[in-house]
Amino acid sequence: MDAVTEATKRRPGTEPQESIEQRRVRAFERDKGTRRSVILGEKVARGVITVGGLLVIVAVIGIMVFLVRVVFPLVTSGGVLNEANYRLDNSRDMVWVNSDEFQSLATTVGADGRAITFHIPTGREVNRTQLAFEGRTATAVGGLLTRDSVAMAFEDGTVRFIDVGFDIGTVARDAVPEGLERLDQRDELFEGRIFARVLTGDHRTIAPRYGVGEPIEVSKNPIIAIDYKRGGTVERPTIAFATVDSQNVARISQSSVRRNLMTGAETVTTTSGELPNLDLAPGAKVTGILLSGSGDRAIVATDDGMLYRFDVRSVKSPVLAERLRVFPEGVAVTSLAFLSGDQALVVGGSDGSVDVFFRIQRAGVDTADGYQLVRARSHEKQSAPIVGITEAQRDKSIATLGADGSIWYRQSTADEVLFRFNRRTDPATAAEFMVFPRSNGVLLVDKTGGVDVWAFEAPHPEITPRVLFSRVWYEGYSEPTYTWQSTAGTDLAEPKYSLVPLIFGTIKATFYAMLFAVPLSLMGAIYTSEFVHRNVRATVKPAMEMMESLPTVVLGFLAALVLAPLVEEWIGAVLLAFISIPLGLMLGAFTWQTLPARLALRLAGIPKFIFMFMAILVAGYVAYQLGPFFEDLLFYGDFKAWTAGQMGTGTPFMFLLLLPLSFMLVSYSFSRFYGHHYRMMLRGLEKTQAGWLDFARWAAFLAIACLVSLAVASFLTLIGFDPRGSVIDSYAQRNALVVGFVMAFAVVPNIYTLAEDALNSVPGHLRAGSLAAGATPWQTAMWVVLPTAASGVFAAVMIGMGRAVGETMIVVMAAGNTPIMEWNIFSGLRTLSANIAIELPEAVKDGTNYRVLFLAALTLFVMTFVINTVAELIRQRFRKRAFQL
């Protein structure tokens, strides 16, 4: 159209002297080809629109790919970054090593008090000091988790505390001194201090710190094992240390330091107590002693595979709490360590095994304090005897050293060996080793000054498919569980990343929501599509559609702040309403049947619908009035106490639960045996009479059903079955009942609209044919319309389910957010979506929790993707079929 006008404009036939003939010729000469711009525009439009249209596919795939990309490093990331091996000059008998958290400097201390500080990546010596040991030689060493404070025990039975930490500071970029000596890419050296440029342009400085405390005399004999812990507050620290001397006498000492605020002077008071006689088997030797962080437990290990656990809460009179054989005879316990947090005890044996023990309180154990050490995890065995175990400072990792020089870096929670290294230093030389503070490497120094460094990256060591999806035995738990607890009060708590309770919560919420939503919406949709007047439909349908875009935050708010307290207060009435409303409707229906045909016909349209409203409202009011009475009658006046199992039996609830079942049973058996006879009888009666007869039949059925139900419930109780503890259990205010109900409210409009659409698109001639053949509208709807639309209706339910699975705000607000796994309708839950909404805003970017939450999102995405794709495929097929009819 445009092209034509343009063409005319360009060559206007303006010469007046032209004859008609000439004009006609000129008209033929006109350029009738399409202009190039139009063709170009056409091509551009086609291209842009096609690309734009396909962008939707790109978006869906893009989202999935992005989520996978974020999740992927959980399983793949990490690897060895660097290995180094060198030898320190002139050093001997190295017994301790400590590093700063940036892997810049390490200090190693010899038994004679010689301390050497060196640059870790290059091995360059930075400082060398002699600690004031006064010529004595250390015989045992024990340090804190942070490794900067060490207790050294000597051959004369004394103990000294040594400080081998690092001072870390910042220097503004213009205050950096001249003449720095470059050590490597990152670090520069100046007067025994390391300078490293940080992101802001300033420099970080690291310098070693040395200190030696006064000797404390503990024993007359040389000490062969020591462990040391620090507790209390900064103002009033308490120090506890345990020692074993060469006579196998174990002692526990506690020092409290009192700092004078005026003078700054410290006074140390030490109290000591001897542990009860170990009563070792002849020839057995003590191989180690370990003290828990709060200084209340001491554990002594021997070379015949025994552990002795002492309760040392009272220093003066420690008690032997438990004696436990951990390894078979002949296998020595070679090393002991606590995982960070001091909850889990790691035991290494001379057969290469590394086992983790938890102290668990159990009824009926024969230990002195009611606790018991339980083998919770058996990690993969190393091929040579374990000679050392060292724990990571910030997570639940450990490094274990075998006599053959193999070092395995393991994650204890995930029960996984992350890295396997082999010493390049001589495996026969005893060595001291540590995991770097950020759990990103292992440093080993042998007695002769040989150094092995392995730097690695393991950003998400605690995540394995096993941790995410199966039972894990966590610290402090009495058995393996599915638990989600990504953050806790302290850094040392074990993070628990099981997605199972969240997936369970999602399924539970969806299940209860669908339990309410599916009957309500489908029945409503059938009624709207088949039985109501067009005008009613024209108001109800848009109203329902509008409810679809109702913000769920509003529903959540109402659920949590209005409905939940109300339901809690009126639980009796709510339960009664579940019975009274169906009963009320049935009562209405059977009464309606008794109406004379003429009257029933006249009232059939909107008046009947209004009567249904009335029936529900009256039933609701009855429930409200009789609720407390109902609660008194069946639940001893206090439903919440009843659910908690504090009183009564399970009979009343089972009676209610079995009532519909027994009603169905009764009516099925009746129609099976007497159905034909009964229908023939009805046919012989006038409509009103038939109605009354049917009414009587219904009432009788109800009575019989009640009796049957009561009998069965009593019988079940008699044989010891009680629903409490499974589907029914103690009542929480924000519970699955409320969530299910309100979520149904969010889902109903969705299912209703789609199902109604599907029913409505069944062609009218099918209905007409059925009605013409003599079927009633009810029979038509049930046996003609519904089967035809079944796939569409099913798709509607699927789509509604997809929505329920991902619903967030209602669950966040009304579900209590407790990640527990029980079907109890009166307990809270936490869904995948709510968990994301709660935890992701606080999660550190690219941290473990961040990635696991992305995994949760991916799980949700995949769940809904499958549901929606199936639903859409069904719907497309249905549409094609409905079109063909």
Partner 1 sequence: MSLAVRPLARQAVEDRPEQKGRSVRVFSADISATGEPWLWALGGALALGIILIAGFLALIFWNGVTTFWPKPIEVVTLQGGTLVAGEPFRAGVYRPDAGIIAKLSSEQQAFVEENGGFAQRTLYRTANFDIYGDDFRWVSDYEVAKVDYPRDFYLFERQEWGNFVGRIKGVIIDNQPQEYVADVMARAQREARDRFNEIRSIERGDIGRINHRLEQERLSIRRAELRYGPAAPETLAATERAVARIAELNAEFTVHQKRIADIRGIDQRNRVVLEEVGGRTKETELSQIVRYYPSNAVTTPDKIGIYFSRWGEFLSSEPREANTQGGVLPAIFGTVAMTLIMVVIVAPFGVITALYLREYAKQGRLVSMVRISVNNLAGVPSIVYGVFGLGFFCYTLGITIDQLFYPERLPNPTFGTGGILWASLTLALLTVPVVIVASEEALAAVPRSMREGSLACGASKWQTIRYVVLPKALPGIMTGMILAMARGAGEVAPLMLVGVVKLAPALPIDGFAPFVHLERSFMHLGFHIFDVGFQSRNSEAGKPMVFVTTLLLLALIVLMNSSAIYVRNRLKRKYATGHF
Between CA 430 and CA 446 the distance in angstroms is 6
CB of 581 to partner 1, least distance (A): 7
Number of residues lying near partner 1 (CB under 8 A): 138
Query: Judged by CB, which is closer to partner 1: 204, or 394?
Result: 204
- Smallest distance, partner 1 to C-beta of residue 519, A: 7
From 109-117, 338-346, 476-484, 594-602, give the range in contact with partner 1 by CB under 8 A. Answer: 594-602
Structure tokens at 697: 């039949």
Q: Which stretch binds partner 1 (CB under 8 A): 339-347, 449-457, 487-495, 851-859?
A: 851-859
CB-wise, 170 or 317, nearer to partner 1?
170
Which residues, 6 or more positions from 830, have their beta carbon under 8 angstroms from its beta carbon? 484, 501, 502, 505, 811, 815, 816, 817, 818, 819, 820
**Separation of alpha carbons 142 and 161, rounded Å:** 10
Closest Cα to residue 143, out of 223, 272, 222, 239?
239
Q: At closest approach, how far in Å is the CB of 699 from partner 1?
A: 13
Residue 238 vs 594, nearer CB to partner 1: 594
Out of 779, 787, 847, 881, name the contact with partner 1 by CB under 8 A.
Answer: 779
Q: Nearest approach, Cβ of 11 to partner 1 (angstroms)?
A: 17
- Range 692-751, binding partner 1 (CB under 8 A): 694, 698, 745, 748
Q: How far is the CB of 517 from partner 1 (least distance, A)?
A: 10
Site for partner 1 in 228-257 (CB under 8 A): none
* Nearer Cβ to partner 1 (186/687): 687
Q: Does 542 bind partner 1 (CB under 8 A)?
A: yes
Which of 149, 831 has the CB closer to partner 1?
A: 831
Sheet holding 416-422, edge to edge: 386-391, 397-402, 406-411, 416-422
Closest CA to 595 of 610, 579, 608: 608
Interaction of residue 818 with partner 1, rule CB under 8 A: no
Instruction: For residue 75, give Cα distances in angstroms to 70, 460, 461, 502, 837.
Output: 11, 8, 9, 20, 24
CB of 233 or CB of 672, closer to partner 1 = 672
Residue 111: strand, helix, or coil: coil
Are 855 and 503 a contacting pair, CB within 8 Å? no
Residues 750-769 that bind partner 1 (CB under 8 A): 752, 767
CB 780 within 8 A of CB 572: no
Residue whose CB is less far from partner 1, 238 or 591:
591
Give SS3 for 598: helix
Q: Which is nearer to partner 1, 237 or 628 (CB)?
A: 628
- The amino acid sitting at 62 is G
Residue selected from 458, 564, 860, 874 as contacting partner 1 according to rule CB under 8 A = 860
Q: First-to-last CA distance in the chain?
A: 41
Nearer to partner 1, 37 or 146 (CB): 37
Q: 297 and 242 in contact (C-beta within 8 Å)?
A: no
**Among 53, 282, 364, 489, interactor with partner 1 by CB under 8 A:** 53
803 binds partner 1 (CB under 8 A): yes
> Looking at residue 174, what DSSP letter applies?
G
User: What's the closest the beta carbon of residue 302 comes to partner 1, in angstroms?
Assistant: 53
Query: Strands 431-435, 158-163: parallel, antiparallel or unpaired by DSSP?
Result: unpaired
Distance CA 521, CA 778 (A): 18
By CB under 8 A, is residue 586 in contact with partner 1? yes
Applying CB under 8 A, which part among 227-235, 365-373, 722-730, 829-837 lies near partner 1?
A: 829-837
CA dihedral 68, 69, 72, 76 (to 10 degrees): 150
Closest distance of CB 876 from partner 1, Å: 7
- Please, which of residues 182-201 interact with partner 1 by CB under 8 A? 199-201
Q: What is the dihedral of CA 369, 370, 371, 375, to 10 degrees?
A: 130
In angstroms, give the least distance from the CB of 160 to partner 1.
Answer: 44
Q: Which residues pair with 820 in a beta bridge?
A: none
Q: Where are the beta strands (DSSP E) in 156-305?
A: 158-163, 166-171, 181-182, 187-190, 193-197, 203-208, 211-212, 216-217, 223-232, 237-245, 250-259, 266-274, 286-291, 297-302
Residue 557 vs 721, nearer CB to partner 1: 557
Query: How many helices, marked H, and strands, marked E, lie in the chain?
Result: 22, 36
| Positions 627 through 666 that interact with partner 1 (CB under 8 A) | 628
Tell the smallest beta-carbon distance from residue 859 to partner 1 (Å).
10
Among 401, 403, 431, 812, the residue binding partner 1 under the rule CB under 8 A is 812
66/673 with CB nearer partner 1: 66
Residue 282 or 774 with smaller CB distance to partner 1: 774
Residue 50 interacting with partner 1 (CB under 8 A): yes
User: Which residue in 25, 54, 75, 132 binds partner 1 (CB under 8 A)?
Assistant: 54
- With CB under 8 A as the contact rule, the residue among 4, 81, 488, 661 that binds partner 1 is 4
Pick one of 8, 30, 31, 48: the residue that binds partner 1 (CB under 8 A).
48
CB of 62 to partner 1, least distance (A): 8
CA 586 to each of CA 378, 615, 616, 871: distance values in angstroms, whole numbers, following the listed order: 63, 9, 10, 34
Query: How far out from the chain centre does Cα 665 lie?
Result: 43
Q: Which stretch binds partner 1 (CB under 8 A): 93-101, 259-267, 385-393, 600-608?
A: 600-608
Kindly report the number of other CB atoms within 10 A of residue 232's CB atom.
14
> Please, which of residues 57-116 interact with partner 1 by CB under 8 A?
57, 59-60, 63, 66-67, 70
Q: In this complex, which beta carbon is closest to partner 1, that of residue 39 or of residue 281?
A: 39
Single residue of 173, 182, 259, 881 touching partner 1 by CB under 8 A: 173
CA pair distance 418, 399, nearest whole angstrom: 10
Rounded (to 5) percent helix, strand, coil in the chain: 45, 25, 30
Site for partner 1 in 137-166 (CB under 8 A): none
Q: Does 568 bind partner 1 (CB under 8 A)?
A: no
- Identify which of residues 70 and 716 has a Cβ nearer to partner 1 in the complex: 70
Strands 386-391 and 397-402 turn out to be: antiparallel
Burial of 252 (0-12, 13-18, 19+ CB in 10 A): buried
Q: Are 434 and 442 in contact (CB under 8 A)?
A: yes
Within 10 angstroms of residue 275's Cβ, the number of other Cβ atoms is 22
Binding to partner 1 by CB under 8 A, coded x per residue (else -) over 666-695, reads: -------------x--xxxxxx--xx--x-
Q: Which is nearer to partner 1, 75 or 866 (CB)?
A: 866
Nearer to partner 1, 515 or 840 (CB): 840
Q: Which of 459, 605, 648, 660 binds partner 1 (CB under 8 A)?
A: 605
What strands lie across the sheet with 319-325, from one edge to the other? 286-291, 297-302, 306-311, 319-325
Residue 840 within binding range of partner 1, rule CB under 8 A: yes
Q: Least distance (Å) from partner 1 to the CB of residue 101?
A: 20
Check binding of 576 to partner 1 (CB under 8 A).
no
Residue from the set 556, 650, 652, 723 that interacts with partner 1 by CB under 8 A: 556
Determine, following the binding rule CB under 8 A, whether residue 472 of this chain makes contact with partner 1: no
CA distance 448 to 207: 24
Q: Which of 19, 185, 263, 549 binds partner 1 (CB under 8 A)?
A: 549
Closest CA to 661 of 622, 619, 711: 711
